[in-house]
Amino acid sequence: MGQSNSNINYIDNGGANAQKGFNYQDALAMLIIITNFSKNDFCIYLECRDDLEVDLTEQKIFIQVKSTKQSVATLIRQNKKRDGTYNKSTLYKNLNKSCDDKLNKYKIVTTSYPEGKSTIKGEIFNELYQYTDEQKKLIVETLLQQGLKKEELEQKLKNSYIYVSPFDNNLDVALTYLLGVMAEEGISVDNDRGRLLLCELLTDIHKKAEKKIITPSDIEKKKLKKDELIKLAKVEKCYKYMEEITTKLDNAGIINFDDKIRINEYIRVVDLKHKSEYKIVDDSIIDSELSGNPEQVIKVLHDKLISLNINSNLLYAILIDKYVMLAFYKEKIN
């Protein structure tokens, strides 16, 4: 997706400098990813033209994240800096985008919004608060003074909403909630896989958020794409298929019962805990070798690759994972 040079003017690298540990914005990004990654053309930009930016088919959603209670007054307030000048207000920063389109949406996410009244269902959030006509009038009057143009401002306000997150700044609560959402979405969280996935996702988020924007081409470095989130797609049906394969290997006498138990344990975390071994195997075979009867294919490849000095059961787990995920990509698992 091409970007104009003018977009650089709307990027604040301050957020890229501030990414340390796990925070409320990270939790919000994870929630968006977990509940939306399967949508067509989904991707998310971290600390780019806004705190978060979600791209769906022909639509951008710009998101300002605030970990404290908000009101219209706080959203349009300009805070005085030490040098006597004023920061831009939260709503100004959210609405002041150069890559505008009538389909674009603008969201403020907060932990609490007592002024919220009427709600609608959103594209990435279930429930969004709308501004009242009186609030819109105040917002327009104030943001005109801050430098936005009236016609443009009124159009954007039609697509501007507030979302109250289901967790506050208590990160233990946020993690527990995210694990519950993952389970509801059919993402396996058994055998500590859920927490491992969240750690992996946090690493991905920070890598993108920490990228600095110097030239327009750098914007794409801030993007977390759908194909980078495929690890989340290992829904329970994939693991059931993998365990069916280990049972077939056991029944065929290729492995014994104890091996089957250990392989099934590896399968749940093999792509997260054993990345170096997974990469070695990945580099040693091609997709066409994973075609055919699973027991035969996996035995032949196991015998071929055992010289790599990878634990035998771990090697079986990696090969089974690769076999099933290739079938998943090809939509052979329903």
- The overall average pLDDT reported for the chain is 89
Higher per-residue confidence, 162 vs 80? 162
Distinct helix (H) and strand (E) counts, the chain: 14, 8
Last residue of a domain, one of 213, 233, 253: 233
Shared domain check, 257 and 215: no
Task: Check pLDDT > 50 for residue 14.
Answer: no
Q: What is the pLDDT of residues 266-297, one digit of tens each?
A: 999 998 899 999 999 999 999 999 999 999 99
| More confident position, 256 or 5 | 256
Number of domains comprising the chain: 2
Q: How confident is the model at residue 17 (pLDDT cuts 50, 70, 90)?
A: very low
State whether 64 and 207 are in the same domain. yes
pLDDT at 6 over 70: no
- Each residue of 86-114: pLDDT tens digit? 999 999 999 998 766 778 999 999 999 99
Sheet holding 223-225, edge to edge: 119-120, 128-129, 160-164, 105-110, 59-65, 52-56, 43-46, 223-225
* pLDDT for the residue 118: 85
Same domain, 252 and 129: no
Separation CA 245–CA 258 (nearest Å): 15
Tell me which long-range contacts 5-12 makes (C-beta under 8 A, separation of at least 24): 5/216, 6/98, 7/49, 7/98, 7/99, 7/216, 7/219, 8/213, 8/215, 8/216, 9/98, 10/49, 10/96, 10/97, 10/98, 11/48, 11/49, 11/213, 11/219, 12/47, 12/93
Cα–Cα distance, 129 to 247 (Å, whole number): 51
First vs last C-alpha separation in the chain: 32
Q: 22 vs 143, which has greater pLDDT?
A: 143
| Gap between the Cα atoms of 327 and 334, Å rounded | 10
Q: Judge whether 224 and 54 are in contact, CB under 8 Å.
A: no
3-state per-residue secondary structure call for 55-111: EECCEEEEEEECCCCCCHHHHHCCCECCCCCECCCHHHHHHCCCCCCCCCEEEEEEC
How big, in percent rounded to 5, are the helix, strand and coil portions of the chain? 55, 10, 35
> DSSP letters along 205-230, please?
HHHHHT---SSGGGGGGGEEEGGGGG
Residue 181 lies in a domain: yes
Among 233, 265, 281, the domain boundary falls at 233
Which of 2-6, 43-47, 56-60 has the highest mean predicted lDDT (pLDDT)? 43-47
Q: Return the residue matching tokens 């759908």.
A: 226
SS3 128: strand
Over residues 182-239, the pLDDT tens digits come to 999 988 888 788 999 999 999 999 999 999 999 989 999 999 998 888 778 777 788 8
Q: Is residue 224 located within the same domain as residue 279? A: no
Angle, vertex CA 99, rays to CA 97 and CA 101, nearest 5: 100
From 14-18, 26-30, 324-328, the region with the lowest mean pLDDT: 14-18
Domain span at residue 209? Answer: 5-233
* Angle between the N-to-C axes of helices 236-251 and 294-305, in degrees from 0 to 180, rounded to the nearest 10: 80
What is the predicted pLDDT for the residue at 235?
Answer: 75
| Same-domain check for residues 228 and 102 | yes
Residue 181 shares a structural domain with residue 92: yes
Q: Which residue has the higher pLDDT, 221 or 118?
A: 221
- What percent of the chain has a predicted confidence (pLDDT) above 70? 92
In a domain, 304, yes or no: yes
pLDDT of residue 21: 63
Q: How confident is the model at residue 331 (pLDDT cuts 50, 70, 90)?
A: low
Pair 271, 191 in one domain: no
Bridge partners of 164, per DSSP, are 110
Average pLDDT rounded to a whole number, residues 129-141: 96
| 334 domain residue, yes or no | no
